């Protein structure tokens, strides 16, 4: 299993939530049928090429190797709690890929999907990080206008509303910076450029997704050339499981 670069956390202070535009919403639906000639490589506990580990800062790592391609996904143990506290309800996954072959291939995050198995098998397509950042940036002005409107209606709440606005705008700006800087982009992997990594984001905004269950089941699918890497995972991995975070020195 290869070593991962430093994984940055996403801020998740309690804040107001924005209403997602239609492009960030999705509908429930069954998984698409497998195209002919495509094989499925599925992470399976204890199977050759499949490993699971926990990091000191409280993250779960699922690593899957098949031939010359190795894919690993990392999920924060507190991800379910953080989703609802972000300026946009997005589910974040860290993805790392490494290639040890002699050829080259295009690795793109576009076809990656996340299935919310515990919620009517809702399937979310990966959000483009640049488009996501632009949407958040555009909504910053809208939130400011809404606050100004509320202050005119209730001038006695001016200080409270402006304080909430500043806190909210700070979180939105941080999220824009994080998505822009650390979002996964497509790249060509080859002998000279053998590894890549970044965060991928999925909308968690759907009428079919209600309150989180005590244990949530997910399935991440990532097409890679003639294969589809599948990562079934749960939060927490086992019912009642708790990941303890090591305090920074």
Over its length of 249 residues, how does the chain's per-residue pLDDT go in tens digits?
544 444 444 544 433 333 344 344 443 444 455 566 789 999 999 999 999 999 999 999 999 999 999 999 999 999 999 998 887 889 999 999 999 999 998 999 999 999 999 998 899 999 999 999 988 888 777 776 676 767 677 777 777 777 777 777 888 888 889 999 999 999 999 999 999 999 999 999 888 888 899 999 999 999 998 899 999 999 999 876 765 555 555
Give the pLDDT score at 16. Answer: 37
Ramachandran category for residue 62: left, alpha or beta (phi over 0 → left; psi -120 to 50 → alpha): beta
Q: Decide if 122 contacts 116 (C-beta within 8 A).
A: yes
β-strands 227-235, 39-42: how paired? parallel
Give the pLDDT score at 29. Answer: 44
Contacts of 111 (CB under 8 A, 6+ apart): 126, 222, 223
| Segment holding 151, helix H or strand E | helix 129-153
- The model's pTM: 0.79
For residues 201 and 161, give the distance between their C-alpha atoms in angstroms, rounded to a whole number: 30
Give the pLDDT score at 181. Answer: 95
Inter-axis angle of helices 158-182 and 129-153, nearest 10: 180
Which DSSP symbol is given to 38? -
CB atoms within 10 A of CB 103: 10
| Segment holding 167, helix H or strand E | helix 158-182
Q: Decide if 67 contacts 95 (C-beta within 8 A).
A: no
Q: Decide if 5 contacts 197 (C-beta within 8 A).
A: yes
Give the pLDDT score at 30. Answer: 45
Count of alpha carbons within 13 angstroms of residue 238, beta-carbon side: 6
Residue 195: helix, strand or coil by DSSP? Answer: strand
β-strands 69-76, 90-99: how paired? antiparallel
């Amino acid at each position: 299993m290869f070593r991962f670069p430093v994984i940055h956390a996403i801020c998740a202070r309690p804040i107001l939530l924005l209403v997602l535009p239609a492009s960030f919403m999705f509908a429930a639906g069954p998984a698409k049928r497998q195209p002919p000639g495509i094989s499925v490589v599925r992470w399976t506990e204890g199977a050759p090429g499949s490993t699971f580990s926990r990091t000191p800062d409280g993250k779960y790592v699922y690593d899957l190797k098949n031939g010359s391609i190795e894919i690993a996904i990392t999920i924060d143990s507190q991800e379910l709690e953080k989703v609802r506290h972000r300026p946009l309800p997005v589910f974040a996954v860290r993805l790392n890929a490494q290639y040890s072959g002699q050829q080259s291939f295009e690795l793109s995050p576009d076809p990656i999907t996340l299935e919310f198995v515990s919620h009517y098998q809702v399937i979310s397509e990966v959000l483009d990080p640049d488009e996501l950042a632009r949407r958040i940036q555009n909504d910053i002005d809208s939130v400011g206008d809404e606050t100004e409107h509320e202050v005119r209606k209730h001038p006695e709440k001016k200080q409270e509303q402006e304080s909430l606005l500043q806190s909210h705008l700070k979180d939105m700006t941080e999220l824009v910076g994080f998505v822009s800087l650390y979002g996964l982009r497509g790249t060509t992997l080859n002998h000279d450029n053998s590894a890549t990594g970044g965060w991928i984001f999925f909308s968690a905004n759907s009428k079919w997704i209600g309150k989180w269950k005590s244990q949530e089941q997910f399935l991440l699918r990532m097409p890679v050339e003639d294969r589809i890497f599948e990562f079934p995972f749960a939060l927490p991995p086992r019912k009642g499981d708790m990941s303890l975070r090591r305090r920074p020195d």
